[in-house]
Amino acid sequence: MNIINKQIPDVLVFEPKVFGDHRGFFMETWRKEWFLNIGVNYDFVQDNQSKSVQGTLRGLHYQTQHSQGKYIRVLKGEIYDVVVDLRESSKTFGQWLGETLSEENKKGLWVPPGFAHGFYVVSEDAEISYKCTDYYAAEYERTLLWNDPALGIDWPLVDNDVVLSQKDAKGCLFSDCEYYP
């Protein structure tokens, strides 16, 4: 496994070793020791999977309590995955990072607790799997507005098409949202 540090500390990209032949391929997608070896010691308590059609933008979601660290992978299709640092004590507070994840590149993305997370579906459809370090807590869930000009996220929109839930369309501006200490 090749682990790549990104411009926001603690956000990591995992590139697996893929063993393929005429039958298909095999790869390890997650090992606790990979995380322990780089000083990340969380227990994953919940696995989620979602499927979305092209143009769907989910997020940017976070929880004000029971903040979830997430290890995200794409099983089918391609997404542009975005995280925003909401940790007030961080040197990268308010900065965002985007990464293309796909069934082709097989990358995984580690997003530690304290970040808002969302993704945009670039392909015809996409299936995403993610492991979480804490349980979903609806009463603490918040949504940061995906197109807040203060963040300046450069989403790779296909034909300027964005399919949003009502909740995601009404997200808060960065200047008005709750942060982490």
Known catalytic residues are 61, 130
Residue 146 token pair: 């995906």
DSSP string, 34-99: HHHHTT------EEEEEEEETTBEEEEEEESSSPPPEEEEEEESEEEEEEEE-BTTSTTTT-EEEE
DSSP code of residue 33: H
Residue 155 token pair: 């989403």
- What sign has the CA pseudo-torsion 132, 134, 137, 142? negative
Burial tier of 10 (Cβ tally within 10 Å: 0-12, 13-18, 19+): buried
Which residue is it, tokens 């070896």? 37
